[in-house]
Amino acid sequence: MGDENNPKKPHVLIFPYPAQGHINPILQFAKRLLSKGVKAALVTTVFLSNSSFSDPSSTSIDIHTISDGFDQGGYEQAGSSDAYLPTFWSVGPNSLAALIKKLGETGHPVDALVYDGFLPWALDVAKQFGIPSAVFFTQSCAVNSVYYHVSKGLLQLPLPVPHVSLPGLPSLQVSELPSFVARYGSYPAWFDVVVNQFSNVDGADWVFFNIFYDLEKEVVNWMSRFWNVMTVGPTIPSMYLDKRIENDKDYGMNLFKPNVDACMSWLGGKPKDSVLYVSFGSFASLGIEQTTELACALKSSNVYFLWVVRETEMAKLPYNFLEETSEKGLVVAWCPQLEVLSNEAVGCFLTHCGFNSTLEALSLGVPMLAMPQWTDQPTNAKHVEDVWRIGVRAHTNEKGVVRRETIERCIKELLTEVGEKGKEIRKNSIKWKNLAKKGIDEGGNSDKNIDEFIAKLL
């Protein structure tokens, strides 16, 4: 920990968009600051504070609350993004300003604000108080570069061409772009959120990305021409990387209760690299036809599998599937993903390629079978297969469904009949795992960037 006798500990407010996939990385960043002697405090909504952070011992960080306009039930209470986002955007700024004012009046003035890219109005609030600010992007540089080009009118939508070429990125087919761009008009409220991230970004003092420099150096270099870009990741609990933060084994926040004992004891007796771990994260939802195709592929592949199927999705499983696969498979409602990915029995991760999941698998050296669903996932999957070469994509048919034969072929390639390509993927996975650890370890690029940020606040 930092020097307790230091007369001035910088006080940094950390403000994520209130969803697990955004809170986890930025909360982990806050723990890094804390371990280096900074007073870091998390700002979350009244509802999340009461529901997901109800056990204060789960994280060592102070928690402050603001209102999103839905204090009783958060996003679910709003019922849709069209209702939630405009309300949060109108209530949030005043609520955040009141918090900063109150902290100042009670002897805890804020020295810097680190805010989620989804919440650009937080920068405007910080400016009112003359507080230096850093925007924190939870998605990849590649994805944010696409959104930036859209925001500046440099990518015309709907796209008139079948593929696009952007600085520092591989050529991307339309289907490999984030879905809000590829299927223009599909989710207008979310489209506005991702594009408006860049409405005032030029006013931020720092631009943080949840990656390590080597992962996307070309696009980082390009972005650094006009912003003060700092890579500060991967923001994964320290025990899985550099081990420099004591007892830092999990993020400290869970929307769902993981079946820890069931998962870990089941994995315990399995041979090395024999298990396929399957999870589509906390948000993505498979259709009944896709669920059936995946279930049939798992059954006929005859591999050990650990499949996370959220309670709300269980009814989509084929009749008798659990009974018929009980010898080989375990289906759970939620699991401790980092513990699972770091278990040597797991040889492959069938994933939706949400960026947190992708970064976790990459940092832990687990090859990926990519089945992207929407938002940034198609672009992440493209990088997994063609740029970082640490997995394969299971492509959809003309109806947008990945057939069981396709999934089976990918499972063979990565797990049961590993040929030259599979061996190369495993080798690359270990290479990236080592680079991820190096980036955040003492003297690594991300570590130096975090130190430089702190030095500016002293």
Residues with a known catalytic role? 22, 116
Q: How many helices (H) and strands (E) does the chain have?
A: 18, 15
CA distance 220 to 239: 27
H or E, element range at 305: strand 304-308
Tokens of 382: 């493209």
Which whole-number Å values give the CA distances from 374 to 1, 175, 180, 323, 387, in the listed order? 40, 10, 8, 31, 20
Which whole-number Å values give the CA distances from 262 to 85, 117, 265, 336, in the listed order? 37, 37, 6, 10
Residues 53 and 253: beta-carbon distance below 8 Å: yes
CA distance 394 to 371: 6
CA distance 65 to 418: 50
Residues 89 and 68: beta-carbon distance below 8 Å: no
CA distance 232 to 449: 7
DSSP annotation string for 90-133: HHHHHHHHHHHHHHHHTT---SEEEEETT-THHHHHHHHTT--E
Report how far Cα 325 is from the mean position of its chain's Cα atoms: 31
CA distance 447 to 241: 12
Give the CA radius of gyration of the chain.
Answer: 22
Q: Which residues pair with 44 in a beta bridge?
A: 65
Closest CA to 25 of 111, 119, 113, 140: 140
